[in-house]
């Protein structure tokens, strides 16, 4: 198999282009900004650009919409304003409005979403959304259509529901965005979802195989002139006060931590960020996982300093493995414990055809590792119409006192006009590391091809990871292997009362050592997924798995799987009801062999949303494992309750338990957005040891944090 030859042939065959005209709006500035209260008052949006040219994407691609939607856009020197009127023939009872939670887009609510490509380069951008209940959503768009919802911006949004439907109003300060003031045209889109009908409509990008945020499919906003960033300075002092009930060695019982974030927009498209005595007390806790495999688990980044402009550090389309840069390596030890950041500096943005990202952080000494400097750099040059070529480098090792350096280069090809309206992307990369920890130099190379279209889609990925490849500031789950992954799928859209989507998928995954021996296989034979017009889903799958152990693997104390070649089958069934109802249910079952034994997994979840103010959910997983060496079970459970007083004031309680650690963790979090950019937090993290059939407190950390933003 020659992956690079396959890629070249695919590009030559598929890259015939026929451009499609995108819609556009000519916008004009306003001298009387609208009041952002969710009420579209008569005459308030007079003079704003207006459209109601929406087309259905789901359930019928290109069909006529069943509910009328219209929007308006205007701006002044400091803010872009958007209003959306979502008419509904069923009136207020037809509107699904269950959630005011921030970034809780779980499919429960009617929602409107707006998208901006402020550089009009179809590579990275922003999205903002409001649920009918008033919940705010925002995020970055990276790699042309990948969402990063961990990013939060300063903006204002309000909604109201009335007898004719509902309305949403947005005010997006231009100081919250990076843009090129010399470019008066932005990419733009508006989308609406009517949950009771599972209907999605958009202004542009009428392809159900592509998300609303797909930047190459956006229309144009023209005439955005005179926007100003002021001095381009955001000053954000913050302070936290934490009481530790059981301080770690060297840790104070009462810890007061003041700090400062300073963002200076050197140009409107290039920002320099300085953070001093950084504090992440307000970051959300990770979802608890139990690892039954031999390789590391991947957890998403949730800390604001690292999520801001995170899209500029993406490399070769890679999302998890082998990543040259994974920001959780900075400030978090392998066991999840925190490592203080003394100071950090970041330069991110665009300069002409270049995108750049430079990050430099000084971490505190910890666990025998001296205080040290960690450096990351990324640059990419736009080539062709939609493609780029770039480099990445990192220096520093947070795990030890040794040295570590990584350099890499990538090429990213994109064509969104294959066969007129189909999409094709391809990525190629190579990385080199020099590591004291790994005692030598190593390499990693990747190649991918993605054809994400409807009804047919195809994905190919190939990688070769040297045994001494060691990205100290990145992520790799397994070294010394070659992997070839292929996935193909076909989708039908029948018009029946019971099923409106059927998906057939097949997946082949080979992992070989560097001598060509197969060490792991995971083949999903054609799997079937069904969706009803109401949004309920059923997924059925049969797989074959193989794993080669060259050394014994202790899956549990006293239970060791010996060296050998193992293979087994796996049957999986998942059922999920739509979240557009007040109660939703998720059930899963997996029955399979497991090395020389047998494994049966059960999982489920129930979520109840009686009103827009309150929601609660219960989730559980049970894994029953029988081995010749012994039997054991894994049990993981979580309970979450959220009360949202207003979209700006939220109280949440999360409890998580697993029987591997015999521990219960409880997180209480109160967040109050006094006004956009000014926030107060009260957080309690408690831990309990349950090993003796009782709750013995092991941790109680109570924190208060305040952060205020000043813009100049």
pLDDT in tens, 200-212: 999 999 988 889 9
pLDDT bucket at 335, cuts 50 / 70 / 90: low
Mean pLDDT on 450-460: 92
- Give 249's contacts (C-beta < 8 A, 6+ positions apart): none
pLDDT at position 340: 85
Q: Is the pLDDT of residue 604 over 60?
A: yes
Q: Are 541 and 565 found together in one domain?
A: yes
pLDDT at position 21: 65
- The helix or strand, by DSSP H or E, that contains position 6, with its residue range, turns out to be helix 3-14
- Give 44's contacts (C-beta < 8 A, 6+ positions apart): 34, 35
pLDDT at position 56: 96
Q: How far apart are CA 365 and CA 373, in angstroms?
A: 11
Mean pLDDT on 499-524: 94
Residue 149: Cβ within 10 Å count = 17
Nearest to 294 by CA among 484, 486, 480: 480
- Give 392's contacts (C-beta < 8 A, 6+ positions apart): 313, 315, 324, 325, 376, 377, 378, 406, 407, 408, 409, 410, 431
Q: Which residue has the higher pLDDT, 375 or 22?
A: 375
- Residue 249 covered by a domain: no
Six token digits for residue 294: 């031999």
Q: Are 348 and 210 found together in one domain?
A: no
Q: Are 8 and 125 found together in one domain?
A: yes
Q: Are 320 and 463 found together in one domain?
A: yes
Q: Are 43 and 163 found together in one domain?
A: yes
Maximal C-alpha separation, the chain: 77
Per-residue b/e over 264-287, b at no fewer than 16 CB within 10 Å?
A: bbeebbbbbbebeebbbbbbeeee
Three-state DSSP class for 400?
A: coil
pLDDT bucket at 9, cuts 50 / 70 / 90: very low
The answer to whether residues 110 and 137 touch, using CB atoms and an 8 Å cutoff, is: no
Q: Are 411 and 515 found together in one domain?
A: no
Q: Are 69 and 210 found together in one domain?
A: yes
Mean pLDDT on 177-186: 89
Q: Is the pLDDT of residue 27 over 70?
A: yes
Average per-residue pLDDT for the chain: 89
Q: Is the pLDDT of residue 268 over 80?
A: no
pLDDT at position 698: 87
How do the residues of the chain divide into helix, strand and coil, expressed in percent and rounded to 5?
5, 55, 40
The answer to whether residues 425 and 384 touch, using CB atoms and an 8 Å cutoff, is: no
Q: Which residue has the higher pLDDT, 270 or 685?
A: 685
Q: Are 569 and 649 found together in one domain?
A: yes
Tell me the CA distances in angstroms from 275 to 145, 248, 411, 706, one per residue in order.
Answer: 29, 25, 32, 16
Q: Are 491 and 459 found together in one domain?
A: no
pLDDT at position 592: 95
Q: Is the pLDDT of residue 16 over 50?
A: no
Bond into 59 cis (ω within 30): yes
* Ranges assigned E (strand) in 550-692: 553-556, 559-561, 564-576, 583-594, 597-608, 614-627, 630-646, 649-658, 663-675, 678-689
Q: How far apart are CA 644 and CA 664, in angstroms?
A: 25
pLDDT bucket at 250, cuts 50 / 70 / 90: low
pLDDT bucket at 13, cuts 50 / 70 / 90: very low
The mean-pLDDT minimum among 276-290, 556-570, 654-668 falls in 276-290
The mean-pLDDT minimum among 10-14, 88-92, 359-363, 635-639 falls in 10-14
Q: Is the pLDDT of residue 19 over 50?
A: no
- Residue 67 covered by a domain: yes
First to last CA, the chain: 58
Q: Is the pLDDT of residue 699 over 90?
A: no
- Residue 230 covered by a domain: no
> Per mean pLDDT, which of 8-17, 176-185, 633-642 is the most reliable?
633-642
Three-state DSSP class for 92?
A: helix
Q: Is the pLDDT of residue 126 over 80?
A: yes
Percent of the chain with pLDDT over 90: 66
Three-state DSSP class for 328?
A: helix
Among 477, 506, 523, where does a domain finish? 477
- Residue 687 covered by a domain: no
Q: Are 113 and 166 found together in one domain?
A: yes
Percent of the chain with pLDDT over 70: 95
pLDDT at position 375: 97
Q: Is the pLDDT of residue 413 over 70?
A: yes
Rounded to 5°, angle at Cα 569 from 568 and 575: 140
Q: How far apart are CA 496 and CA 533, in angstroms?
A: 8
Q: Are 468 and 488 found together in one domain?
A: no
Among 659, 679, 707, where does a domain finish? 659
pLDDT bucket at 1, cuts 50 / 70 / 90: very low
Mean pLDDT on 451-462: 93
pLDDT bucket at 8, cuts 50 / 70 / 90: very low
- Residue 228 covered by a domain: no
How many domains does the chain divide into? 3
Three-state DSSP class for 95?
A: coil
Q: How far apart are CA 364 and CA 369, in angstroms?
A: 9
Among 436, 452, 477, where does a domain finish? 477
Phi, psi angles (nearest 5°) of residue 642: -130, 130
pLDDT at position 248: 66
Q: How far apart are CA 474 and CA 492, in angstroms?
A: 39
Q: Are 459 and 504 found together in one domain?
A: no
Q: Is the pLDDT of residue 3 over 70?
A: no
pLDDT at position 694: 78
pLDDT at position 325: 95
Which pairs from 16-20 meet CB under 8 Å and 24+ separation?
Answer: 16/418, 16/419, 17/415, 17/417, 17/418, 18/417, 18/419, 18/420, 19/417, 20/417, 20/420, 20/421
Q: Is the pLDDT of residue 370 over 70?
A: yes
pLDDT at position 249: 65
- Residue 707 covered by a domain: no
Q: Which residue has the higher pLDDT, 5 or 437?
A: 437
- Residue 20 covered by a domain: yes
Q: How far apart are CA 303 and CA 212, in angstroms?
A: 25
Mean pLDDT on 14-32: 72
Quick one: 231 exposed, middle or buried, by C-beta within 10 A (0-12, 13-18, 19+)?
Answer: exposed
Q: Is the pLDDT of residue 255 over 60?
A: yes
- Residue 400 covered by a domain: yes
Mean pLDDT on 461-471: 96
Q: Which residue has the higher pLDDT, 333 or 499?
A: 499
* Residue 608, domain extent: 480-659
pLDDT at position 18: 36
Six token digits for residue 648: 């700006």
pLDDT bucket at 517, cuts 50 / 70 / 90: very high
What is the tens place of the pLDDT at every residue in 279-305?
Answer: 776 667 777 777 777 777 777 787 778
């Amino acid at each position: 198999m020659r992956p690079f030859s396959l890629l070249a042939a695919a590009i030559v065959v598929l890259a015939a282009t026929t451009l499609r005209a995108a819609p556009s709006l000519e916008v004009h500035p306003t001298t009387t900004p609208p009041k952002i209260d969710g009420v579209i008052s008569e005459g308030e949006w007079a003079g704003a650009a207006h459209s109601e040219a929406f087309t259905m994407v789901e359930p019928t691609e290109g069909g006529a919409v069943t509910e009328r939607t219209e929007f308006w856009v205007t701006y002044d020197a400091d803010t872009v304003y958007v209003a959306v009127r979502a008419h509904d023939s069923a009136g207020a009872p037809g509107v699904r409005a269950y959630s005011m939670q921030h970034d809780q887009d779980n499919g429960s609510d009617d929602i409107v979403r707006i998208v901006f490509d402020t550089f009009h380069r179809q590579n990275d951008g922003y999205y903002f959304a409001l649920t009918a209940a008033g919940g705010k959503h925002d995020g970055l768009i990276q790699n042309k259509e990948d969402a990063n919802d961990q990013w939060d911006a300063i903006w204002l949004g309000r909604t109201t529901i009335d007898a004719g439907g509902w309305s949403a109003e947005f005010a997006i300060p231009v100081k919250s965005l990076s843009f090129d003031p010399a470019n008066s045209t932005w990419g733009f889109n508006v989308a609406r979802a009517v949950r009771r009908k599972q209907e999605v409509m958009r202004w542009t990008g009428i392809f159900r195989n592509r998300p609303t945020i797909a930047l190459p499919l956006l229309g144009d906003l023209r005439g955005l002139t005179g926007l100003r960033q002021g001095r381009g300075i955001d000053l954000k002092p913050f302070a936290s006060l934490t009481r530790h009930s059981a301080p770690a060695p060297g840790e104070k019982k009462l810890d007061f931590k003041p700090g400062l974030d300073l963002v200076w927009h050197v140009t409107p498209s290039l920002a320099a960020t300085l953070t001093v005595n950084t504090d992440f007390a307000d970051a959300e806790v990770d979802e608890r996982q139990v690892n039954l495999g031999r390789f590391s688990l991947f957890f998403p980044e949730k800390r604001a300093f690292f999520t801001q402009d995170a899209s500029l550090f993406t490399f070769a389309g890679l999302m998890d493995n082998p990543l040259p840069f994974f920001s959780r390596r900075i400030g978090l030890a392998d066991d999840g414990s925190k490592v203080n950041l003394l100071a950090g500096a970041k330069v991110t943005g665009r300069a002409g055809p270049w995108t750049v990202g430079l990050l430099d952080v000084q971490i505190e000494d910890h666990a025998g590792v001296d205080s040290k400097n960690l450096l990351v750099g990324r640059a990419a040059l736009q080539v062709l119409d939609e493609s780029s070529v770039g480099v990445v480098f990192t220096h520093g090792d947070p795990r030890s006192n040794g040295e570590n350096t990584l350099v890499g280069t990538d090429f990213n090809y994109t064509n969104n006009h294959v066969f007129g309206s189909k999409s094709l992307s391809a990525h190629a990369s190579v990385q080199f590391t020099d590591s004291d920890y790994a005692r030598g130099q190593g390499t990693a190379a990747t190649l991918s091809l993605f054809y994400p279209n409807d009804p047919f889609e195809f994905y190919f990925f190939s990688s070769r990871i040297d045994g001494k490849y060691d990205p100290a500031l990145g992520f790799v789950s397994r070294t010394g292997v070659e992997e070839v992954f292929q996935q193909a799928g076909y989708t039908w859209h029948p018009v029946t009362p019971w099923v409106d989507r059927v998906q057939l998928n097949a997946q082949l995954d080979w992992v070989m050592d560097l001598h060509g021996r197969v060490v792991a296989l995971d083949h999903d034979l054609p799997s079937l997924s069904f969706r009803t017009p109401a949004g309920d889903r059923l997924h059925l799958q049969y797989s074959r798995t193989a794993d080669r152990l060259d050394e014994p693997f202790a899956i549990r104390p006293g239970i060791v799987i010996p060296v050998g070649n193992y293979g087994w089958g796996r049957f999986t069934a998942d059922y999920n009801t739509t979240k557009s109802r007040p109660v939703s249910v998720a059930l899963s079952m997996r029955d399979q062999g497991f090395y020389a034994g047998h494994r049966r997994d059960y999982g489920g979840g129930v979520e109840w949303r009686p009103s827009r103010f309150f929601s609660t959910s219960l989730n559980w997983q049970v894994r029953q494992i029988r081995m010749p060496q012994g039997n054991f079970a894994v049990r993981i459970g979580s309970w979450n309750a959220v009360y949202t007083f207003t979209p700006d004031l939220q109280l949440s309680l999360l409890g998580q338990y697993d029987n591997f650690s015999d521990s219960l963790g409880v997180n209480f979090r109160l967040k109050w957005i006094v006004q956009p950019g000014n926030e107060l937090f009260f957080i309690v993290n408690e831990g309990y040891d349950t090993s003796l059939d009782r709750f013995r407190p092991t941790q109680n950390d109570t924190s208060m944090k305040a952060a205020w933003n000043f813009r100049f």
